[in-house]
Amino acid sequence: MRLAITQPNFLPWLGYFELLDYVDVWVSLDNVQLSRGSFVLRNRVRRPEGAVEWVSVSIPKKLPLLSSIKDAPISDNGWQGRIVRKLESYYKNAPFRERFGDEVAELLTSNTNAPGLAALNETIIHEISSWLGIEYEFHRASDLEASLQGSPQDKVFSLIRHFDADVYCNFASGVDAGLYDPVAFARKGVSLERQAYVHPSYSQHGGGFEPYLSVVDLLFETGEQALQIIQSGRQWEKPSARVLEGST
């Protein structure tokens, strides 16, 4: 069984959905500290002339120190409508704007009463996954472990023990940063796999191509071909084991 544990990002990019399509179980890492500069709060879309612009969830400027993703409230200041209007303007000439425009608008504006940031993003991810035809078993980290302690690897191990997983799948950034050690995973009977996603290109109205955008760009530009395009970039690898200090 393949398991992924990731923070619930806002309108994620293609590689995020490739990960969800690849694994059997996704655990939303909702009970870790929120970082205001992270993709949990924002993502990128494309203007018709090719420039890239951020769209963001609005949360209160003042939050309690060390607030978790699940405990961060969503502001009631009309931010959803502002994003919808931007998408309507930027993608009005996109080939599949009519097919997905209303669905995306409804997804953003119908969740104004979400209990928190994590719940909002999880709902968005679930719904877009269903449009794409991606299925996975879902759990929240906060339901499995009320409090996670230690290093990122320690937190992952605390969650892995709840599942009969033999493969743990993670984004390249986490593995490349040295947060996880294949030897430590092997000792627990779990293989570590690193996403080595090769971002596919696709036609974007107005010409040119800008990668690493929110999946809404792909939906508006490619329609029903979106999942096939996402899967075309699939590449996973097992990182080389480095011997832990004191190990034999």
Q: What is the DSSP string of 22-58?
A: H-SEEEE--SSB--TTSTTTEEEEE-TTS-EEEEE--
What residue spans define the domains of the chain? 2-237
220 φ/ψ angles, rounded to the nearest 5 degrees: -70, -30
Predicted local distance difference test score (pLDDT) of residue 243: 39
174 has a pLDDT exceeding 70: yes
- pLDDT surpassing 80 at residue 247: no
pLDDT of 241: 59
pLDDT of residue 130 exceeding 70: yes
pLDDT at position 240? 76
Rounded percentage of the chain residues whose pLDDT exceeds 90: 89
CA dihedral sign, ordered 41, 173, 90, 18 = negative
**Residue corresponding to tokens 């969740």:** 111
Q: Tell me the pLDDT band of 62, cut-offs 50, 70 and 90.
A: confident
Burial class (CB in 10 A: 0-12, 13-18, 19+), 220: buried
Token pair listed for 150: 């230690």
Question: Is 107 in a helix, a strand, or coil?
Answer: helix
Mean per-residue pLDDT of the chain: 93
pLDDT digits (tens, 9 = 90+) for 176-210: 999 999 999 999 999 999 999 999 999 999 989 99
* Rounded CA separation 68/116 (Å): 10
Residue 64's pLDDT is 81
Q: Taking residues 6-10, what's their average pLDDT?
A: 98
Over residues 32-46, the pLDDT tens digits come to 999 988 999 999 999
Q: Give the pLDDT confidence of 93-123 residue by residue, as tens digits.
A: 999 999 999 999 999 999 877 889 999 999 9
What average pLDDT does this structure show over 238-248?
Answer: 53
Contacts by residues 122-125 (CB-CB < 8 Å, ≥ 24 positions apart): 122/8, 122/28, 122/30, 124/10, 124/11, 125/8, 125/9, 125/12, 125/16, 125/20
pLDDT for the residue numbered 248:
27
* pLDDT value of residue 114: 83
